[in-house]
Amino acid sequence: MGQDTIEQLDLSLPWLDTTTKEYLINHHPNLPVNFLYKATREGGCSLLPFLSSIQWVNIYWQKMRLNKTAILLYSAFYDPNPGGKPCVRLLGVTRSTKPPAVWCHLWFSTQQPPVVTRITIIDHLDYQGLSSDRQMPFMFTCPLPSQVAHLQPAAVSLVHQPCQPATTLLQVVGAKERENSAYLNGLKPANPATAVKGWVPAVCGPALYYYHEDFSKRMVEWLEILRAEGIGKVFLYVTDVHPNLEKVLKYYEDDGFLHLTGYSYPPPYINEPSLRRLWTLVEQYKMFAQENIYFTDCLLRHMHQYRFIAHYDPDEIPILPNHHNYTHFLEHMLTRDAEKKLKPAGYKLQWNYFYNDLNSSSQGVKEVPEYLWALRHTLTPTQPLKPTPGTFKSLFDMDVVRAIYSHSTLLCKHGGKCNPDVHIVPPSLAYIGHFKFTCGNKCSAANSTKEVLFLHKYKKQVTTAVTNVLKKLELI
């Protein structure tokens, strides 16, 4: 069976100009393909699960079962956890309101048996309460034993007995040190722990299910505005999208500004795109619970590449009234916090609606091409939105944060709630333009709206870039 597996992994896929092995590496984000390939070629430990013994569910999920409890795992991450013990964190779901404290097989070598360690912490990753009527998101934390604390495992399995053969095997993503992508011009400061200048943030978006909506033009504008604002990279998850949007995503992935990760929903949730769309409308509370898996996955997957990572949706655009880019904004916030000897978990930016049914009459806006949605919709209510927990989106400090939901933190590095928590940013410094709703009659009264043109400082750069991309992709 080993030679057959090698032959299949080496099999050429000429229409994709790749091999099966390379395709799996690029499209199966949590499978340790190279590790399994080496084990198959050279012979591996008998406890190591091979491709045929992993219990796959809905493409990306792996299942382990203990009596009546099933745990579905999606991903695993190495956390060097400065100041404490390094660990591996696994993300998964279960209907059990009290998941069992099972064991981890930490794989450092294909030839040697795994290092066995017990899960010490199980965190429920949801602001909604525990309920067995849905798949609940959890983080399982395996500390690295002292004898291997200086090493980084290549893969991890979850088992309910220390010597039991595993049905799961996840690639352990991460690194011991932060990469140069986190710093302006790739220049690492002498002491990153105290640096207030030169940080480049990234953005984690949602799992796109725009199967029924051609969001391609707006996606191009969103990405180019983020680029103009100094965002280093954007990370998105993909289920099913419109063909035009698929072209856009491929273009920006090839360009290097975008990274895509494949995602599916765990059972019993449907992954047929039309039925899933209905499910997201009818049972939103179940969808919200699942969001926390890919929101948190994104931060953990890329925390070794960027220190500051925001979560924004494609209809949300950060607006910086007093700073040209995010690096300057962060310098302002970090300098202020250093003077106060603070290190918050991140920064909350309040929503401000820019309504779809309000069109500016100013000549500068009229000159903007119709396919630049945000640059054309510049009218916003005079009265600011009343702040609630759900009207903020956050930029997280990955020196501190370890799990999030759509608007704020769920878990910090040392366990439990974040203290200090995410700080609210005054709207005069930064806020989120939410380009989503219609205003209707409430915006018909005199002086009910005002024009905001802060995004127009990027107008020339964004207009040129968006126009070039849309023409190249034959979308205009």
Cα 134 to the center of its chain, rounded Å: 22
Residue 460 burial (CB count, 10 A): 10
Q: Residue 414 and residue 162: Cα distance in Å, rounded?
A: 26
pLDDT digits (tens, 9 = 90+) for 113-124: 999 999 999 999
pLDDT digits (tens, 9 = 90+) for 286-341: 999 999 999 999 999 999 999 999 999 999 999 999 999 999 999 999 999 999 99
How far is the CA of 156 from the CAs of 35, 67, 77, 256, in angstroms?
11, 21, 9, 29
List all residues 6 or more positions away from 252 whose beta carbon is below 8 Å from its beta carbon.
223, 234, 258
The predicted pLDDT at position 82 comes to 65
Q: 0.85 exceeded by the pTM?
A: yes
Domain boundaries defined on the chain:
2-173, 180-472
| Percent of the chain topping pLDDT 90 | 78
The predicted pLDDT at position 83 comes to 64
pLDDT digits (tens, 9 = 90+) for 143-156: 999 999 999 999 99
Helices marked H in 381-425 — which ranges?
none
pLDDT digits (tens, 9 = 90+) for 386-411: 889 899 999 999 999 999 999 999 99
CA dihedral 422, 425, 427, 430 (to 10 degrees): -100
CATH number of 180-472: 3.90.550
The predicted pLDDT at position 460 comes to 96
Mean pLDDT, range 168-182, rounded to an integer: 96
The predicted pLDDT at position 445 comes to 85
Q: Is 214 exposed, middle or buried (0-12, 13-18, 19+ CB in 10 A)?
A: middle
In contact, 264 and 290? CB cutoff 8 Å:
no
| pLDDT, greater one: 444 or 204 | 204
Q: Residue 114 and residue 71: Cα distance in Å, rounded?
A: 21
The predicted pLDDT at position 43 comes to 82
Strand pairing report for 69-79 and 170-173: parallel
The predicted pLDDT at position 134 comes to 94
Mean pLDDT, range 215-221, rounded to an integer: 97
How far is the CA of 268 from the CAs of 58, 72, 345, 457, in angstroms?
10, 11, 34, 47
